[in-house]
Structure formats: C-alpha cells, structure tokens
Structure 1
C-alpha cells in the first residue's frame, strides 16, 4: 500500500535517485540518450535538495520511497516513479494527492509541463494540452514538453 508523506531534507538523495532512474527508464524514445544523461547528471546537493522546502512529497511502499511529486503554488511537478513500481497506480495516486493539496490551498487550476512520454497519462487524468513547447530547466537544459492544465473546481 502506498503511503504519501511530506519529504524532508534527508529525503533529497532518495528523491533525486527516483527522478534519475525514472527519466533514464521511462523517457527512452521521447528524448535522446544525451538529453537524458544531461538532465540527470549530478546529485541532490546540486540544487535538487532545495525542492524539499516546497510542498514536496514522497510515496512509500513497505518502507521504500518509490514516487515523488511536488506542488509549487499552482504547478505540479517532479512526478517520478521508480521503474520497478511503474504501472501500479502510484502515479495516479500521487497526482490525486497533489490535486487535493492544491484544492486545500484554494487553487482553481493546476498547470504542469508534461514530458513527451507522460502526456497521455495526464490526459487520462483530465489534463488538457496538445501544443509542444520548450521547457528550460534551471540547469540550462532545454527539453520538449507539453504544457497542460486542469481545472479543479
């Protein structure tokens, strides 16, 4: 059973590892190997740990962190699932948790930048958006993405 808890500063390395493994496994075909390697280089101390100060969550299964998710004002992000736990409904559960958190903060519409491989997942969860755009990461990497929105009220 999935247990979702707020992440702490001590969780940053595990969250970074989940992100790295998810990108390198699930983004094959949507992005080049070079893009994925640049996107996942470094470690949590290279700035990723600062995200733990936001509403950042970890999902745990039998004591193991397996999924991450973040809500930054009205933006959902950092939704990554360890490859061995993908396809079990944990992504949808985390997304629903983030949407609940947004509703608790009186957010009416949430936004996100979907990776090319994840857009169909978000559409199945009620998000809309088809236009491809360019995401500019804080590290300077640019990636194709699909901006999406969902009205919560």
Structure 2
C-alpha cells in the first residue's frame, strides 16, 4: 500500500470509494433512506474535485484507491476519511490518519485536530487518541441531517 497526495484525476475514484464506504460501513448506524440520500449524487462536483486536489491524500494498492482523507492546515479539520469496505479493519484508516497528523504537526499552524465522526467511526478515532467533545448534527445542503460526534486531539501530546 502507498499513500500519496491526491490529484484532481482521483476525484471519481475517491467519490466512488466514499459512497461504498458510507453505504456499507454506516449501515445499521443510520437509516437506509438517509444513507441513500447521502450518497445519491452520481458524480463529483467541481467543488469536490477542487477539495480533492488541494487537501486530499489517497491510499492505493495495485493502482486502486482503497482509502483517503484530508486535513486543513488552516484550522486543523480532518475530513473525508474513508476506507474501502473490502479493506476495512486492515490498518488503512490508521495509516491515513497517521499521515494526516504528521502533515498537521509539520505544518505547525494548528495545535489541535478536530473532526466530526460518524457514529460508526467514533470508536476508531477514540483508539487514535481523539476525545469526544460533544454530540452534533451534520446538516446537509440537500435537506437532511445526520447525528455525528465532534472529536478533537491535542497535537502537543504527541
């Protein structure tokens, strides 16, 4: 497995990975109709392609994207961490998160990482040293909301 900076040309593969991950790994934590609405778009928007090319990193194996994640050095926000369901539990998410944390530390502009975890991912982030800050509600611009957990990690304790 290799982790590298994402390219705009990776956007479709990342978008497809995101949808597979949500549909499989969030099942049982959210209602099926919410999972459908969350993943009903057929392709990446131009905003998503820009996000991918600026902030995303991908884990790949045999030239296939099997994991991804992003971190903003401006505010320490970790976002869009997804793992292919066929590879879940194999340490890919942990390796992506380790890289994002290293990038944040080396960037030096943030002292704390923060994220909004899906209900199924909260234990994963807790194992990586993130603390629960509060329950929250993600409000989608498409008119639905999802329960999530705001979490943070102090980088000084690293």
TM-score interval w.r.t. the shorter chain? over 0.9
Structure 1 residue ranges (4+ consecutive) displaced by more than 4 angstroms after TM superposition: none
Distance in 2 (alpha carbons) for counterparts of 1:23 and 1:97: 22
Instruction: Say if 2:106 is the partner of 1:104.
Output: yes
Instruction: Say if 2:146 is the partner of 1:148.
Output: no
Give the length in aligned residue pairs.
Answer: 152
Instruction: Say if 2:38 is the partner of 1:36.
Output: no
After the TM superposition, which residues 1-153 of structure 1 pair with which residues of structure 2 at under 5 Å, given as runs? 2-42=1-41, 43-45=43-45, 47-72=47-72, 73=74, 74-106=76-108, 107-129=110-132, 131-153=134-156
Residues 110 and 152, structure 1, Cα contact 8 Å, conserved in 2: yes
Structure 1 unaligned segments of length 5 or more: list them.
none
Residues 71 and 77, structure 1, Cα contact 8 Å, conserved in 2: yes
SS at match of 1:147: strand
Q: What is the CA distance between 1:136 and its match in structure 2? A: 2.1
Alpha-carbon distance change, 127 to 142 in structure 1, aligned in 2, over 3 angstroms? same
Alpha-carbon distance change, 67 to 28 in structure 1, aligned in 2, over 3 angstroms? same
Distance in 1 (alpha carbons) for counterparts of 2:19 and 2:46: 13
Q: What is the CA distance between 1:46 and its match in structure 2? A: 6.2
Q: What is the CA distance between 1:140 and its match in structure 2? A: 4.1
Q: What is the CA distance between 1:62 and its match in structure 2? A: 2.0
Q: TM-score by structure 2 length?
A: 0.90
Q: What is the CA distance between 1:48 and its match in structure 2? A: 2.3
Q: TM-score by structure 1 length?
A: 0.93
